[in-house]
Amino acid sequence: MTDLSAFPIASRWPAAHPDRIQLYSLPTPNGVKVSIMLEEVGLPYEPHLIDIGKNETWTPEFLSLNPNGKIPAIIDPDGPGGKPFGLFESGAILVYLAEKTGKLLPADPAARYETLQWVFFQMAAVGPMFGQLGFFHKFAGREYEDKRPLERYRAESQRLLGVLETRLEGRDWLMGEDYTIADVATLGWVRNLVGFYEVGELVDFKSLKNVPAWLERGLARPAVQRGLNIPARP
């Protein structure tokens, strides 16, 4: 049996199945990237709910795995060289799992880097901008008298949706016929934007054609449906 005692996080969230990948997460747009990916590639894993509402990401045990205090993070008991390996940052985890399994990332070098550029587009632009728009529209930011921040993130989010709309013209997925980690990275954020954040009207989502169709295709995938609810909320 794999020994995870070198990882302090495993003392707070003990592994019932230490030979499986340990997922420390919450079903947020960032968190579901990894649960969806694990469902898509079929690797056995054990999810642990990290309650950000209780500041569990700022406990010493969680910070020992991710010093940035954010979900998701993983421990792979069969990491490089066959040794247990911890990893944080959702984009890095997607690339790691894709390379570990040989799935959802093209082997052709040009197509591989093209896929990665869309993953990084999500990490650098879609996630931060959509998240800020959600904050200023739905959460504490709505109380700010100065509406310029809201407008800034609304306009930028709408522009980014336009980038996706153009990219998806004539394509089922961001890389064309092939569903990849670029789609896995982005689906949850677009879903949250028009769902949980309730800003569809603000960004004129109904005027788009390609993005809603892509989102519908993605959400219809069984692995996506499962991954969106892992770890199960209490």
* CA distance linking residue 205 with residue 166, whole number of Å: 14
Instruction: Say if residue 234's pLDDT is above 90.
Output: no
Residues 73 and 120 in one domain: no
Residues 124 and 91 in one domain: no
DSSP class per residue in 141-210:
GGG-S--HHHHHHHHHHHHHHHHHHHHTTT-SBTBBTB--HHHHHHHHHHHHHHTTS--TTTTTGGG-SH
Residues 97 and 142 in one domain: no
Output the CA torsion sign for 16, 21, 25, 26.
Answer: negative
Residues 30 and 50 in one domain: yes
Instruction: Say if residue 202's pLDDT is above 80.
Output: yes
With respect to residue 118, please indicate whether it lies within any of the assigned structural domains.
yes
With respect to residue 142, please indicate whether it lies within any of the assigned structural domains.
yes
Which CATH number do you get for residue 89? 3.40.30.10
With respect to residue 227, please indicate whether it lies within any of the assigned structural domains.
no
With respect to residue 230, please indicate whether it lies within any of the assigned structural domains.
no
> Which of the listed residues 103, 119, 139 is the one where a domain comes to its end?
103
Q: What is the pTM of this model?
A: 0.96
Q: Which domain holds residue 120?
A: 109-221
Residues 135 and 214 in one domain: yes
Mean pLDDT of the chain: 97
With respect to residue 50, please indicate whether it lies within any of the assigned structural domains.
yes
> Which of the listed residues 54, 70, 103 is the one where a domain comes to its end?
103
pLDDT tens digit sequence for 77-96? 999 999 999 999 999 999 99
Instruction: Say if residue 167's pLDDT is above 90.
Output: yes
pLDDT of 140 reads: 81
Instruction: Say if residue 1's pLDDT is above 80.
Output: no
pLDDT tens digit sequence for 43-58? 999 999 999 999 999 9
pLDDT tens digit sequence for 84-129? 999 999 999 999 999 999 999 999 999 999 999 999 999 999 999 9
Residues 114 and 92 in one domain: no
pLDDT of 144 reads: 86
Q: Which residues of 46-84 are buried (b: 16+ CB within 10 A; e: fewer)?
A: bbbbbeeeeebbebeebebbbeeebbbbbbbbebeeeeb
